[in-house]
Amino acid sequence: METPQAAHRIAVDCMGGDMGPSEAVAAVAIALKEGLVGPQDHLVLVGNEEILRLLAREHRIRLSANVSFRHAPAIIAPDDTPMTAMKGKKDASMLVAVEMLKAGEVDAVVSTGNTKVLVGAGTIRLRAMEGAERPALAAIMPRREGHFVMLDVGANPEATPEHLVHNAVLGRIYAQSALGIADPRVGLLTVGTEEGKGGDRINRTHALLKAMGERIRYVGPVEGFDVFGNVCDVVVTDGFTGNIIIKTLEGMVYMVRDLVGPKVRYNPVYLAGGIAMFPLLRELKGHLKPERYGGAPLLGLNGLVMKAHGSSNRHGIASAIRLGREALEAGAGRRMREELAAANAVIAAHPAA
């Protein structure tokens, strides 16, 4: 006997990515073909409907009850701000998708578009979920063994201790659905693991997380080099630090690629060496799985918003659809509200000194 699955409705903003709508539509085709969404689920392709219908035909998407279109002609540009976009581009695919989420027409939105506008519009239109005050962007990153969740990587640069505790709660529940870890270990990112280091904000956050006891598997403060070890599964930080970390890491990866790449290409000995090592690089890439975890949810809003990297290809976007669907399937939103309420009770019982 099979339990009937709940139907999850996901709007895919198809116009926002650097690679154009074709990759987004291809991602929908992958999601349907590979069963990343269930047979009861429904995907709405949001964007220029004429173009999207053409692309859907090209990618052999069967126009069934699983797929529909929503016309939204405008496109958010890289230099748009939340304010310029929400004032002048109400008919942009990203904003139409967010409005569908607000209206309850869908349960989640996936977008590759401008992060600032997505965070701003998501926060303003959807508002924080009950018990939270600010959303947090949660990235999945590789470590020696497996992956970990880091949040916030850019939604709320001025996080209070209470916000950081909320991030811990949200990140823990997300790690359960995204990484399949039953009881994820939570660490607080700071500059030294002795108590009393890192300043008042970290100390108060540390005290509150400890006070949560069994409700959260808090392993204590962690340092920058701990995150790639097997110390914790959820790294809690503020959106200022987290954003700078992921951009600096990305910058270093690109720097090494730029320094090494041309030399390998133009030197036959290096090229031969590189070709010999290709399976290793592929294995390394398989280990790091950049495309398996191509989406970062904006957690703590009334409705699930998944941000995929602007440069995502079809696999990255498909992975964001999958991660969003898994969070919906796990009832993450309801569980986050419950756990935020419990955390807020602990916070209220431990007022700041």
Applying CB under 8 A, the residues found at the interface with a second copy are: 81, 116, 142-144, 154, 157-158, 189-192, 194, 197-200, 223-229, 237, 239-241, 243-252, 254-256, 258-260, 263-264, 267, 269-270, 272-277, 280, 283-284, 287
Rank residues 100 and 121 by Cβ distance to a second copy and give the closer one: 121
CB 135, min distance to a second copy, A: 15
Rank residues 88 and 251 by Cβ distance to a second copy and give the closer one: 251
Rank residues 275 and 352 by Cβ distance to a second copy and give the closer one: 275
Instruction: Give 102-146 as a DSSP string.
Output: HTTS-SEEEE-S-HHHHHHHIIIII-BPTT-SS-EEEEEEE-SSS
Q: How many CA atoms lie within 13 A of 252 on its CB side?
A: 5
CA distance 101 to 99: 5
Rank residues 88 and 273 by Cβ distance to a second copy and give the closer one: 273
CB 344, min distance to a second copy, A: 24
CB 272, min distance to a second copy, A: 6
CB < 8 Å & 24+ apart, contacts of 97-100? 97/11, 97/12, 97/13, 97/44, 97/46, 97/70, 97/72, 98/122, 98/125, 98/126, 98/305, 99/125, 100/11, 100/44, 100/46, 100/70
CB 204, min distance to a second copy, A: 13
CA distance 246 to 84: 27
Rank residues 83 and 341 by Cβ distance to a second copy and give the closer one: 83
CB 200, min distance to a second copy, A: 8
CB 179, min distance to a second copy, A: 18
Rank residues 9 and 134 by Cβ distance to a second copy and give the closer one: 134
